[in-house]
Structure 1
């Protein structure tokens, strides 16, 4: 079980996985300014990191959606291609021509094997791409919780500062002076706590942002390897169909391995003969 630490608190990835990572973006608590406690530079630095993290979270969720769509689409393409070959296998023309029947049977066999390749591709990408991205997207919930903790400290500091201002406006009686000194001490403690929280967030979120490359690199490498395996296997399967056509051509059978121009000329000639038939309307 992997844990992430933000603002001094540890968050477990396991407890975050019960949530749907595609439901919404978790990172929504924008850092509020705290003048007289934090410098404008420190406030601006945290704001920049917050905006960058929002972009990273949005990109992470978009990648998950795109991968799911990709796997669904490639599965649909393979099923459609298998249906085409199944329909061709059942056509009357296929049964009348032995060479065409053999070609379609081999083609149908290839599409059946591609279904297994698609399942393997989906399984690999589920484990090496979708699940790591899901875990990474879940960590933004703990990041937002840490930012909420900072916002609580900011609001607490503002409330104490408001009390100090009111006491300073009152008559300087013994009672008011005691209260004022007590609130000033509380304001000082609150300011130190807020500054420490801000500095910790700034440091840890900067590291978290910088380490994203190390996290995503193996995921992308696994994606590329799965693509190489899938498309390489697809190429090998279809390549096996080509030598059979060439062999039949050497035996005197009509060859299906012709150039694009020759194929286009052949199709146009056949269409011209069909149009010349009396049963075809002009």
Structure 2
């Protein structure tokens, strides 16, 4: 999710930086292309945020909720264990303290054993139901991806239609780009690789 957000924010930053470039002020056709690109990147960012929110809701927030429901017994068990008990500190002269501690420990131990037994009975059921929980979450993730990439196809299709020069084939565009790159490489300020 973090990578999607970072990629999306970077694309918006690039388009914003291009818009503030002095070339946009000098060349109206370039400004029109960059404006279309900026609009597409902002739309992409918006859909990306929707996808990230969907993933957050279905996978990230859902897992702890199920974990909390099924592990509530562990929290109760841990809360019942007395803090700071160390029997090694009890001397022979404190045998009454030791027997008192054992008496206090007995109900805690019985509670632990009862909760442990319950967990041992319920864990196989929980384990076998894991697919029932994750399958809808995974389906939701896939649906979010389908919506996202469908929208990206539309956004970039619209962008291509706005900046495309009709009548040129892909090979002609590639030759033009190669020729322009060769001109740039020929400049004295460009270092050879």
TM-score (norm 1): 0.47
User: Which residue of structure 2 lines up, in the alignment, with residue 75 of structure 1?
Assistant: 5
| Deviation (angstroms), 1:140 | 5.6
Question: C-alpha separation between the residues in 1 aligned to 2:152 and 2:176?
Answer: 28
**Cα 1:143–1:116 shift into 2, 3 Å:** same
- Deviation track 1:180-209 (CA, whole Å, cap 9, x = no partner) reads xxxxxxxxxx9xxx6x87764433211111
- Equivalenced residue count is 163
Of structures 1 and 2, the larger Rg is shown by 1
User: Which residue of structure 1 lines up, in the alignment, with residue 98 of structure 2?
Assistant: none
User: Which residue of structure 2 lines up, in the alignment, with residue 258 of structure 1?
Assistant: 170
Structure 1 unmatched ranges of 5 or more: 1-69, 149-189
User: Which residue of structure 1 lines up, in the alignment, with residue 136 of structure 2?
Assistant: 218
- Deviation track 1:36-67 (CA, whole Å, cap 9, x = no partner) reads xxxxxxxxxxxxxxxxxxxxxxxxxxxxxxxx
Structure with a larger share of its residues in helix: 2
| Deviation (angstroms), 1:137 | 2.9
User: Which residue of structure 2 lines up, in the alignment, with residue 105 of structure 1?
Assistant: 35
User: Which residue of structure 1 lines up, in the alignment, with residue 54 of structure 2?
Assistant: 124
**Structure 1 residue aligned with 2:179, among 263, 269, 274?**
269
The answer to whether the 8 A contact 2:4-2:48 is kept is yes
Matches within 5 A, 1:144-163: 144=74
Q: SS at the partner of 1:240?
A: helix
| Deviation (angstroms), 1:123 | 2.6
**Cα 1:280–1:124 shift into 2, 3 Å:** closer
Provide the aligned C-alpha RMSD in A: 3.5
Structure 2 unmatched ranges of 5 or more: 79-108
Question: C-alpha separation between the residues in 2 aligned to 1:278 and 1:200?
Answer: 78
Question: C-alpha separation between the residues in 2 aligned to 1:280 and 1:129?
Answer: 48
Question: C-alpha separation between the residues in 2 aligned to 1:127 and 1:242?
Answer: 33
